[in-house]
Copies of this chain bind each other. A is one copy, B any other.
């Protein structure tokens, strides 16, 4: 999206191919998953975002293949699209560490469909607990395991008890939703490993205060039906969410360049692919570096690399030299439930309320389009003051999905 927009007004034809019809503000996806926001609050149709850019055409299609030697991409209907320059930004999914069978039991959080699936499972767990007559099953239904202590895992882990304690209790007659257990598993020695140690500790303390059981050095060895195993330890649970590891899009392997263990393409400093100066890789699919240092897989890095790639194409067309990509880190932010957050901004470590208000302000600013901002503010205001969830709906045949379990 940011690359396409950087071509605005230029004498080029831009074709943006995506397999969804919407651009997603991924940092707030966990709020759709936890039934605070509606999908339309954090996503907007790509066409609509590019409606005023007359040199841009949008195609809803899935790319099946890229053939660098013939300079074409192949779409899902077999049709080929020729290019002069190609920018690949197909990102990453979660990595299930060579256990693809775990994905159905422990969905990740990368797309709107993912978020709706997590919301569905989260809400259904309480419905099942209310329905069952079996005490052990009830306990398992009210136990939620989140695998991965990065920002996504921490933000999910912070929201679940907040909702269970404040939004749900009046709705149920047989169970006490406030008694739900939330367990956050992190394979490494501390959660938020990309943050400074003091903020990791603060986040862990904030989560503990919300009742979350934070377990570091806990590598998942099996995700079964109704159970998660961590080495010899077993946790009976009806609901597991996955927020660990990144596995880059398989399209990266078709570019004739090397990929790292996570499947990311090792790009040149100008973001082009070695041996193919007409192909650029940006966002989470690229192994980005600035001054030789790795750049984290975050939204600002994706946006900035998109703009740089577009500018380098325009420079090349004008016969100018290319610029190197330089990541400007404006700060890192992660929220923990209501009111709490940790942040690093301009080298300063922030936590608690102030970090949370900063987080709120920054995210409202970045939301795509006025409507989303206003709507999100209202939803947040509503759920903030009433503790009620505005979007607590289960769609996609809840009862029949329940039966299939």
Chain A interfacial positions (CB closer than 8 Å to B): 19-22, 38-40, 43, 45, 47-48, 50-52, 54, 56-62, 76-77, 79, 112-113, 116, 123-124, 127, 130-131, 133, 170-174, 371, 374-375, 378, 382, 388, 390-400, 402-403
Given that A393-B40, A394-B20 are contacting pairs, would A399 and B60 also be in contact in the complex, using a CB cutoff of 8 Å? yes
Chain B contacts of A113 at CB under 8 A?
Answer: 395-397
B393 touches A43 (CB 8 A): yes
Q: Determine whether the beta carbon of B62 is less than 8 Å from that of A403.
A: yes
Contacts A378-B375, A393-B43; is A170 near B127 (CB within 8 Å)? no
Which B residues are CB-close (under 8 A) to A402?
60-61, 76
User: Measured between C-beta atoms, what is the minimum distance from A62 to chain B in Å?
Assistant: 4
- Within 8 Å CB of A112, what residues of B? 393, 395
Shortest Cβ distance from A221 into chain B, in angstroms? 30
Distance in angstroms from A289 CB to nearest chain B CB is 32
Which residue of B has the minimal Cβ distance to A383? B371
Most buried by B among A52, A60, A76, A170: A60
Whether the pair B396, A396 counts as a contact (CB closer than 8 A) is yes
Q: Which residue of B lies closest to A60 (CB)?
A: B127
Closest 10 CB pairs of A and B: A19-B399, A47-B171, A60-B127, A51-B170, A40-B391, A62-B399, A21-B394, A38-B38, A57-B173, A45-B392
